[in-house]
Amino acid sequence: MRPLLLIAIIFLNACAAQLPTSERLERVRLAKQEALAQEMLTDNLQFGAPSFIRVFKSEKLVEAWVQDQETGRYVPFKTYPICNYSGDLGPKQAEGDHQAPEGFYAVGAGQMNPWSSYHLSFDIGFPNEYDRTYRRTGSNLMIHGNCKSEGCYALTDPAIEEIYLLTEASIANGYNVPIHIFPFRMTPPNMLKHADNKWYPFWQNLQDGYNAFERTKIPPNIDVKNGRYIAKLKNSPQKRLF
Choosing from 15, 83, 98, 152, which is the catalytic residue? 152
SS3 151: coil
Q: Where are the beta strands (DSSP E) in the chain?
A: 51-56, 61-67, 74-81, 84-85, 103-107, 112-113, 121-123, 142-144, 153-154, 177-182, 221-225, 228-232
d(CA 15, CA 171): 9
pLDDT per residue of the chain (242 residues) written in tens, 0 to 9: 554 454 445 445 545 448 999 999 999 999 999 999 999 999 999 999 999 999 999 999 999 999 999 999 999 999 999 999 989 999 999 999 999 999 999 999 999 999 999 999 999 999 999 999 999 999 999 999 999 887 799 999 999 999 999 999 999 999 999 999 999 999 999 999 999 999 999 999 999 999 999 999 999 999 999 999 999 987 655 544 43
Amino acid at 197: N
Q: Of 83, 119, 144, 180, which residue is the catalytic one?
A: 144
- Highest CATH level, class, for 3-232: mainly beta
Question: Any catalytic annotation for residue 119?
Answer: no
Backbone phi and psi for residue 237, each to the nearest 5 degrees, phi listed first:
-60, 155
What are the backbone angles phi and psi of residue 91, rounded to the nearest 5°?
Answer: -75, 160
* Bridge-based pairing state of the strands 51-56 and 177-182: parallel
Please enumerate in sequence order all residues whose Cβ is within 8 A of that of 63, keeping only pairs 6 or more positions apart, or say none: 53, 54, 55, 56, 76, 78, 79, 80
Say how many CA atoms lie within 13 Å of 146 toward its Cβ: 14
Q: Cβ(49)–Cβ(26) under 8 Å?
A: no
Q: Mark whether 147 is an active-site residue.
A: no
Residues in contact with 46: Cβ distance below 8 Å, sequence separation at least 6, in sequence order: 8, 40, 66, 69
pLDDT for 41 equals 97
Q: Phi-psi bin for 16: left (phi > 0), alpha (psi -120 to 50), beta?
A: alpha
Domains of the chain, by residue range, sit at 3-232
Q: Is the pTM of this model over 0.85?
A: yes
Selection from 105, 107, 74 nearest residue 206 by Cα = 105
